[in-house]
Amino acid sequence: MNTLTLEKKTVDIHMESLSDRVGNTPLLPLHRVTLNLPASVSVYAKAEWFNPGGSIKDRAALNIIRSAIASGELRPGKRLLDSTSGNTGIAYATFGAAMDIPVTLALPENASEERISILRALGVELILTDALEGPEGSMNAVREMLEKSPERYFYANQYGNPANWMAHYQSTGPEIFAQTAGQITHFVAGLGTSGTMMGTGRYLKDQNPQIKLIAGQPTKSMHGLEGLKHMLSAEHPAIYDKNLPDRYLEIETEAAHEMVRRLAREEGLFVGLSSGAAAVAALRVAEKLESGVVVTVFPDAGYKYLSNKELWK
């Protein structure tokens, strides 16, 4: 609490930093897309766009930054470096700006207009790599920069850094368990770095091994569902354990798009593409149940996908 004196009045001001606002997101029930389900089956989504950087990746990025500061790997004079065009980059940039940590990100030059503009707005140094080389090209650029000047950078490495999944073990998992009063029966999430599933899934299994974990996967490698990886064809992240989920479900891109429109128009939830995919997977799980509490995660809102004209028909 800080105290401010205004003329003759003394006002108490509760000071909170941006990082205090990460996590503790609402768990929203889905009402209308679930109308075909029996009353004994409910479906909830964790509304992760309530985080200050606008996505679930605030949890991982903040924990990566905090752990690296604690270990001394990230100290004054170092720049945070990673390859990401997505939400993790925006999260690094948000906390980097707030905590005075300079950030350098490598990303393919064809990353969406919205993402590049947001990263520029937050003052990130951007290394744009050849679109034809995809995310691999950005990772290679990062490797070269690290080889050339290792002392200049802290390599955040979201795909291999245990602080990514640990963030979810320490926050997303406990929040979901508490918000459902321990009644959750199924947890459904898409896989990108896999941090959300690995951390939340491990926490939930530790509380109750009967809770089923279901991972949503795009059906093909060129799926356009930003944030998600097609694990069958992609290089596996070091933090990913393919044996943790009890089941995998394949989600077609068109089904995810259709669900994004339904969530906006029927539930008032304007969410991103991976949230549409998560909802499709959660509803497919729920449809097979006689009773249960299915929880999924909606990683971000729809604003960064507005330039995808095909989606908003």
Catalytic residues: 57, 274
Could you say whether residue 267 binds ligand PMP (CB under 6 A)? no
The first and second tokens of residue 97, run together, are 């700006």
The conformational region for residue 30 under phi > 0 = left, psi -120 to 50 = alpha, else beta, is beta
- Element (DSSP H or E) covering residue 246: none
User: Per-residue x/- mask for ligand PMP, residues 25 to 64, rule CB under 6 A?
Assistant: ------------------------------x-x-------
Among 108, 135, 137, 195, contact with ligand PMP (rule: CB under 6 A): 195
Please give the full DSSP string across 66-103, using - where no structure is assigned.
HHHHHHTSS-TT-EEEEE-SSHHHHHHHHHHHHHT--E
Could you say whether residue 269 binds ligand PMP (CB under 6 A)? no
- What distance lies between CA 140 and its chain's CA centroid? 23
Instruction: Supply φ then ψ for residue 190, to 5 degrees.
Output: -80, 165
Residue 28 bridge partners (DSSP): 45
Site for ligand PMP in 274-313 (CB under 6 A): 274, 299-300
Among 67, 85, 193, 296, contact with ligand PMP (rule: CB under 6 A): 193
Distance CA 234, CA 220 (A): 10
Distance CA 202, CA 191 (A): 15
Residue 108 or 190 having the CB closest to ligand PMP: 190
Q: How far is the CB of 84 from ligand PMP (least distance, A)?
A: 8
Could you say whether residue 196 binds ligand PMP (CB under 6 A)? yes
Among 201, 227, 276, 292, contact with ligand PMP (rule: CB under 6 A): 227
Could you say whether residue 191 binds ligand PMP (CB under 6 A)? yes
Among 96, 173, 192, 245, contact with ligand PMP (rule: CB under 6 A): 192
Binding site for ligand PMP (CB under 6 A): 55, 57, 86-87, 190-196, 226-228, 272, 274, 299-300
